[in-house]
Amino acid sequence: MDSPTASTTEGSTARIVTSRSSVIESIRGCGLSGLRVNKEDLKRKLSMPKYLRHAIRDSINSKDVNAAADRYREGNSAGREEAPEGPMVVFVNSKSGGRHGPELKDRLQQLMGEEQVFDLSNVRPNEFVEYGLGCLEKLAGLGDFCAKDTRDKLRILVAGGDGTVGWVLGSLTELHKQGREPVPPVAVIPLGTGNDLSRSFGWGGSFPFAWKSAVKRSLLRAITGPVCRLDSWHLLMSVPRGEVVDPPHSLKSTDECSLDQGLTIEGELPEKVNCYEGVFYNYFSIGMDAQVAYGFHHLRNEKPYLAQGPISNKLIYSGYTCTQGWFLTPCISDPSLRGLKNIIRMHVKKVNCSEWEQIPVPRSVRAIVALNLHSYASGRNPWGSPKPEYLEKKGFVEAHVDDGLLEIFGLKQGWHASFVMVELISAKHIAQAAAIRLEVRGGEWKDAFMQMDGEPWKQPMSKEYSSFVEIKRVPFHSLMVNGD
């Protein structure tokens, strides 16, 4: 065991509590606890006045805030319309959740105004932020108190996986940048495979079998639950120009490449570089776990009939892991399966420290993960729950999702990762960091594999020049609704 998290007895107790919590979570998710939710009462709490729903719809469709606002500015001219108690907008990823996605969308539209439920294949979150919220703000500026109250109280429910939730959160960050507060908090109906964001904020880890009875309870919790803060992390990557990168959707090309200049560079710098940036909420990783994820994603895209839902995805993923050499690494001479120490220099800024500090990469580590949440790989907690004396000895602090720190840990060969995933041991603790800088140089390595919140990519390596990954906290928090 790499770090003492509890005695054997305490560990057994923790696993019993975890199992019991999972059962309770499942019961809650299935809508079997608490009082019955009246459909008509809920609809009154959620539904915006008709003129506001139509104004938002037309603004998004026409991509013209002013025209839609002018058309509906007389909608509340008599001042009789009032904002609902809990105005809600829902984004549904209808491709998630197996066959239930379209049915869920229809059910949600029955429980509130149809125009308040958006299918992500038709309306993107950034379009809603620019035109939908923009329309409410325009009407509020024209003296419409109902529009202003609706905008101020608005919450967003996302029915999808972690990637979908991150997409919505990322779009909402534009409100911070543009000074358009308040920023609506986000609740979740989990439709993905891992659902770690959902688990971390009390929304459960899976789409309940009794989902029709659970939807009303989820909506009620979404408008009444307390709001929590969540750190988000900006990633900037610089690669030598000429190295072809096929980035995931969350990683965009950028002309700005302002890497921290306070560090010496071991390798040579190329004359020209390509830069990419993105934001993550749960984790960034490099190494074997990202390689397995990359292969699995390509397998699923080539043979979509193999992946019919979360359970089949997990079974295929587990089997695919065994084919990638992680379990047989000590017996294989391929340098791409050796430790990351061969290719990475890592620097971090620790808690309450402005100076970079180099952190040695353990020789045995084949995957490095920088984790923001307590939930990773479908609800596991590889960082564990270290005792106070261990934290003090290592210079760590207790981990929280809004503490401005990432927990950096390593996974060794597949057997070590397997024991970590079933929480028999904790991962290899490396550091806690307020910022991270990775210098990656290929040598014998042709490719490195990276992933960000479950979206993997293959990073071609240069023998002559280094690639850089720099991670820093976004200066404002994202807001989540707690579903517990």
pLDDT at 338: 59
What contacts 344, CB < 8 A, 6 or more positions away? 286, 361, 368, 438, 439, 440
pLDDT at 219: 94
Claim to verify: residue 205 and residue 304 sit in the same structural domain? no
Q: How many CB atoms are closer than 10 A to CB 88?
A: 26
Residue 473 has pLDDT above 90, yes or no: yes
Task: Estimate to the nearest angstrom the gap between the alpha carbon of 30 and the chain centroid.
Answer: 24
- Write the CA distances from 353 to 27, 284, 369, integer angstroms: 44, 22, 21
Q: What is the pLDDT of residues 118-147, one digit of tens each?
A: 999 999 999 999 999 999 999 999 999 999
- Write the CA distances from 152 to 84, 125, 137, 155, integer angstroms: 11, 18, 10, 9
Claim to verify: residue 295 and residue 388 sit in the same structural domain? yes
Residues forming beta bridges with residue 190, ordered by sequence position: 160
- pLDDT tier for residue 7 given thresholds of 50, 70 and 90: very low
Q: How many CB atoms are closer than 10 A to CB 130?
A: 18
What are phi and psi for residue 343, nearest 5 degrees?
A: -125, -5
Rounded to an integer, the average pLDDT of 449-467 is 86
Residue 176 has pLDDT above 90, yes or no: yes
Claim to verify: residue 198 and residue 301 sit in the same structural domain? no
Rounded to an integer, the average pLDDT of 102-110 is 88
Asked whether residue 17 is assigned to any structural domain, the reply reads no
> Domain end: 225, 248, 271, which one?
225
Give the domain CATH number at 106: 3.40.50.10330
Residue 202 has pLDDT above 80, yes or no: yes
Claim to verify: residue 393 and residue 255 sit in the same structural domain? yes
The pTM score is: 0.82
pLDDT at 402: 95
Rounded to an integer, the average pLDDT of 331-358 is 78
Q: Are the C-beta atoms of 54 and 113 separated by less than 8 Å?
A: no
How does DSSP assign 24-46, residue by residue?
Answer: HHHHHHTT-SSPPPPHHHHHHHH
Claim to verify: residue 342 and residue 381 sit in the same structural domain? yes
DSSP state of 182: P
Rounded-to-10 torsion of CA 237, 265, 445, 301: -10
Q: How many CB atoms are closer than 10 A to CB 171?
A: 18
Count up the domains in the chain and report the number.
2
Q: Tell me what the pLDDT averaged over the chain comes to.
A: 82
Claim to verify: residue 106 and residue 215 sit in the same structural domain? yes
Residues forming beta bridges with residue 438, ordered by sequence position: 346, 469
Give the rounded percent of residues in the chain with a pLDDT score beyond 90.
45
If you average pLDDT over each of 124-133, 269-278, 292-301, which comes out highest?
124-133
Is residue 415 exposed (0-12), middle (13-18) or buried (19+ Cβ within 10 Å)? exposed
What contacts 465, CB < 8 A, 6 or more positions away? 240, 267, 268, 269, 270, 441
Asked whether residue 460 is assigned to any structural domain, the reply reads yes
Between 104-118, 154-168, 293-307, the lowest mean confidence (pLDDT) is in 293-307
- Write the CA distances from 453 to 125, 425, 438, 478, integer angstroms: 18, 23, 18, 15
Asked whether residue 2 is assigned to any structural domain, the reply reads no
Token code pair at residue 401: 């999702």
State which residues form the domain around 158. Answer: 36-225
Claim to verify: residue 252 and residue 221 sit in the same structural domain? no
pLDDT at 161: 87
Q: Which residue has the higher pLDDT, 412 or 264?
A: 412
Asked whether residue 307 is assigned to any structural domain, the reply reads yes
Question: Within 13 A of 297's CA, how many CA atoms are on the CB side?
Answer: 15
Q: Which residue in 165, 94, 152 sits closest to 125, CA to CA? A: 165
> Domain end: 163, 192, 225, which one?
225
pLDDT at 465: 85
Asked whether residue 3 is assigned to any structural domain, the reply reads no
Residue 100 has pLDDT above 90, yes or no: no
Residue 13 has pLDDT above 50, yes or no: no
Asked whether residue 128 is assigned to any structural domain, the reply reads yes
Q: What is the pLDDT of residues 399-452, one digit of tens each?
A: 999 999 999 999 887 667 777 777 777 789 999 999 999 998 876 777 888 998
- The amino acid sitting at 20 is R
pLDDT at 368: 95
- The amino acid sitting at 183 is V
Give the rounded percent of residues in the chain with a pLDDT score beyond 70.
79
Q: What is the pLDDT of residues 218-262, one digit of tens each?
A: 999 999 999 999 999 999 998 887 665 677 777 888 888 877 777
pLDDT at 123: 95
Rounded to an integer, the average pLDDT of 179-196 is 92
Asked whether residue 57 is assigned to any structural domain, the reply reads yes
Report the distance separating Cα 396 and Cα 390, nearest Å.
Answer: 8
> Domain end: 199, 225, 251, which one?
225
pLDDT at 323: 52
Claim to verify: residue 442 and residue 463 sit in the same structural domain? yes
Q: Which residue has the higher pLDDT, 436 or 302?
A: 436
- pLDDT tier for residue 209 given thresholds of 50, 70 and 90: low
Asked whether residue 5 is assigned to any structural domain, the reply reads no
pLDDT at 258: 79
Residues forming beta bridges with residue 435, ordered by sequence position: 349, 472
Report the distance separating Cα 230 and Cα 202, nearest Å.
Answer: 14
Residue 165 has pLDDT above 60, yes or no: yes
Claim to verify: residue 154 and residue 276 sit in the same structural domain? no
If you average pLDDT over each of 245-254, 296-305, 319-328, which comes out highest?
245-254
Q: What is the pLDDT of residues 369-398, one digit of tens each?
A: 999 998 888 888 889 889 999 999 999 999
Claim to verify: residue 205 and residue 256 sit in the same structural domain? no
Claim to verify: residue 323 and residue 460 sit in the same structural domain? yes
Claim to verify: residue 208 and residue 324 sit in the same structural domain? no
DSSP state of 306: G
